[in-house]
Each structure stands twice: as structure tokens, then as C-alpha cells.
Structure 1
Amino acid sequence: MTSQRQTLAKPGPVFFIGRAVLRPLLRIRFRPRITGREHVPKAGPVLLVSNHLSGIDTILIPSFAPRKVQFLAKESLFGTRIGGWFFRQIGAIPVRREASAAAQAALDAGREVLAAGSVFAVFPEGTRSRDGRLQPGKAGAAWLALETGAAVVPVGLVGTNRKLQNPGTGRAEPMSIAFGRPIDLSDLAALPGGRARREATARIMAAIQGLTGQDLAE
């Protein structure tokens, strides 16, 4: 992307209005159990790293996080005047997923959000899990954490994909959103870049699994 800096926006009034409306509706519809919100630092840059089970995950995390959260959204959602206005108002960052440089553009956008002292949410798996297992983590989240020094808070989502059934009951699992304790990566600063990213990725995925109890995909 050639103008990622120009497209970044902070959440505006629509974000707060939308969250005020959505939060009670989501509670009524899904009755999610929310835990650990106190683990999200009240100030400074925060990188939320979450597992990814459903498209609704990008709604649930900003709705129940204690701070404003920015995230990535497909550029096509910004294609109309109303769509572009709305998604920029809620702080979404447009990304052309089909572009070869999209991955780095997304990381650069996240770095800018964190440099401004805000909260940025990513899914280290890179895509939704189709079978409910925790997929191997990609290095992008680790790169962001190590580059910015942001507090890294794991998020564990359970039951957000209503099509996945609990093997014990044959029903969808109860929905829960757990914010974990920040992950300490401070000791990795002295390691070579590649090794530091691999170790940070391993810690991030272990922290997420500790919150969700998911089986690991090979």
C-alpha cells in the first residue's frame, strides 16, 4: 500500500456509540463470560493477540475490551462513502489482502497505532481456525511486539464459532472472552532477530492456548 499513513484513523464517536449499543445486545444474544479485563494496561501501547474462530471475533474484542481497539479490515469495506466513513470512525485500518505487500503494510499500520500509544488487535494464526484447533502462530505479532515494546496481552476466545460443537454435549460451547496477563518478552532483546521472533511467537501461542485449552494443529 502506498499511503497507509494517510488512511490510519483513531476511533471516533461512532466507536463509542456503537460499543454502547452492541455490548448489551451481545450480552443478551450470546451471554459471554468476560474475564481478565484488569490485565489490559490502562495507558500506553497494547498489542492484543487472540485466537480466531469466527468473523464475529473482530466485533467481540473491541466491544468488551476496556480500551479502544483498532484492527484490520478488508479494503473493499471502505469502497462506498458511507462504508469508508463508518469503518474509519470505528478505527478500522484498510488492508488489501490480495496485494503481495499486504502483510508488511498491515504490520506497518499496526506499528503506527502502537507508536501512538493505542491498542491494536491481531490474530497470530493469520486466519480463522476451521476445526477449532489452535493453528501455528505466524511471526507478525512477535515482530510488532519486539519492534514497539508494547505490552502483549493474550486473548482467549471460546465458543465464538457457533457451528463448532462441544464433543461432550454435542452443543456449541458457552462463549467466553478471557484477557490474560501480559506476556513478558523483555529477555528476548539480546537475541538475534529471527530467534527472538520464534521464541516470542512460541510464548504468545502458549499463552493463548493456556486461556482457551484448544488442541494444537500440526
Structure 2
Amino acid sequence: MKFSIGGSLKLAFRPWVEGLENIPAEGPAILASNHLSFSDSFFLPAVLDRKVTFIAKAEYFTSPGVKGKLTAAFFKGVGQLPVDRSGARGAGEAAIKSGIDVIERGELFGIYPEGTRSPDGRLYRGKPGGLARVALATGAPVIPVAMIDTEKIQPPGKVVPKLMRPGIRIGKPLDFSRYHGMDGDRFILRSVTDEVMYEIMKLSGQEYVDIYATAAKRQIADAEKAAAKSEKAEKAEQAGKAAPVESTESTEKAGPAAADTDK
């Protein structure tokens, strides 16, 4: 199924690729990519001869009904691995364990250090938990990858993709074997993650923002709420100003009548 999906994607979108020679013909490696679109996990495996395993939330594999079964089959076909996200640290620990298992099988493990899709096309600070811990626990090389223009094909919230050519740039492998076994040192984890993000930035040409993408999404959501609240208040104020005001003439006519009534 992987080959049929990959062939269909290549035929329909004709993605261009640079740096394919940096993917090893065999043996384990970690592919660390920027994350612009839901389709990133499909385009990268489509251009490679080897299987790439990404992680995906378990709900994609357990939804009931015909649609749920089709979704599960699709994700399995493109190399997605279900991860149970229950518990406070469930997602992170499950992802790390899954990544280590993939590497120990001698396969390619794909991961997005930003942790979530970019909300505006910029490159955000990498999270040091997953990528660096898998790399230091296994000693596997890290290959930086840059997805180009995939957010234009399928922006967040859009179901039907736009037919255009995305790009993929694959950098040279990064060797962190000097830190092997130091996955408990948070300073080393931060250093490794930042080095990988710098290489991704050079490949992608994105503007780098030194905050987490999750924080940026909260800021954007808060700004949108504030703007909506301000617009609502402005409309209410305008409606108040537009309300009819009783004329002086009608008030004068009503005056004597009101006086008579009082008598």
C-alpha cells in the first residue's frame, strides 16, 4: 500500500527533492523535519525507497465504523505508528519508546522536533524531549529535512488539497555519538536539538522564532479572541449611537398633556 500511495502522490504533485544521497541505503537513522502541513508525513515517505515510520495519535487507528477502518488502513499503509497519548507524560514517553524501537530494528524514524505544525509558516523552537533523547539513547545519526511549500497545498482546516509542486531538501547526517548515553542531561538535550533546528532552518530558509509553536498558537488564538471581542464591542457601540432619539417637537407636544394628567 505504501508504494501505491507514494506513486499516486508523486504522479499527482510531482515533488522535487534535493539530497536523496544523504539517506543511507540501510541501517537506522532519524529524519528530523520541519512541520508545515498534515501532508508532510506522506510526501517524505513517498520520495524515499525505504520505509519511514512516523508516530500518530492512537485515535487514528481505533475509530469505529467503515471510515475508521479506512483511516487506520491508510495510516498503517504510509508507515504511521499509533501512540497512546493518555496520561500527563504519556505522549512524550510513548513516542520516545516507539522511536527507540524503530531505530533498534535498523529502520528510519521520522519526527517533528517542533512538536506540532507551524501556525504561520515560520520555524519554531524544537522540543528537546523526543528527538534528542532518541538520538542519544541509540546513537543513530540525525538527518535534517526541510519540507517546502506543503502548507500551501493543504493549509490547516482545508480538506481538499491544491495541486502544486512541494519540495523536500535533505541535509547531511549529524553525528551525536559523542553524547551517547547522556540523554538525562537537559543541557545536552537542548544543545543537540538547537543544532538540528539550525540545520533545518538553513535548508528551509524559514524565519526562526525562539518560542515553542504551541505557545505561538496560544498567542494567535488569544489575539483572535481579543480582536473578536473588540469588534463586538465596537458594533454594540455603533448600534447604540444609531438608536432613534425622540424629537424636541414631540416632547413639547407631550408636555402639556403630561401636565394635564398630573392635575
TM-score relative to the length of structure 2: 0.67
Check if 1:91 corresponds to 2:76: no
In the alignment of these two chains, the number of paired residues is: 193
Greater Cα offset, 61-70 or 191-200: 191-200
Structure 1's unaligned 5+ residue stretches are 1-13, 165-172
2:123 to 126, 134, 145: 134
2:209 to 205, 211, 217: 217
Query: For residue 148 of structure 1, what is the amino acid of its counterpart?
Result: T
2:54 to 67, 71, 78: 71
* Aligned mates of 1:73, 1:141 — CA distance in 2: 15
1:117–1:190: structure 2 CA closer, same or farther, 3 Å change rule?
A: closer
Higher normalized contact order (CA 8 Å, seq sep 6+, divided by chain length): 1
The corresponding residue for 1:146 is 136
The corresponding residue for 2:227 is none
TM superposition outliers: structure 1 runs of 4+ over 4 Å: none
Greater Cα offset, 88-97 or 123-132: 88-97
Contact 2:45/2:78, CA 8 A, preserved across alignment: no
- Which structure has the bigger radius of gyration? 2
The corresponding residue for 1:10 is none
1:81–1:159: structure 2 CA closer, same or farther, 3 Å change rule?
A: closer
- Aligned with 2:207: secondary structure? coil
* Aligned mates of 1:162, 1:176 — CA distance in 2: 11
Q: After TM superposition, give the deviation of residue 129 of structure 1 in Å.
A: 0.7
Sequence identity of aligned pairs in percent?
37
Computed over aligned residues only, the root mean square deviation of the Cα atoms, in angstroms, reads 2.2
- Aligned with 1:105: secondary structure? helix
1:85–1:22: structure 2 CA closer, same or farther, 3 Å change rule?
A: same
Query: For residue 111 of structure 1, what is the amino acid of its counterpart?
Result: I
* Aligned mates of 1:92, 1:20 — CA distance in 2: 17
The corresponding residue for 2:13 is 26
Contact 1:62/1:68, CA 8 A, preserved across alignment: yes
Q: Which has the higher helix share?
A: 2
2:29 to 39, 42, 46: 46
Structure 2's unaligned 5+ residue stretches are 155-163, 211-263
* Aligned mates of 1:190, 1:112 — CA distance in 2: 16
Query: For residue 35 of structure 1, what is the amino acid of its counterpart?
Result: E
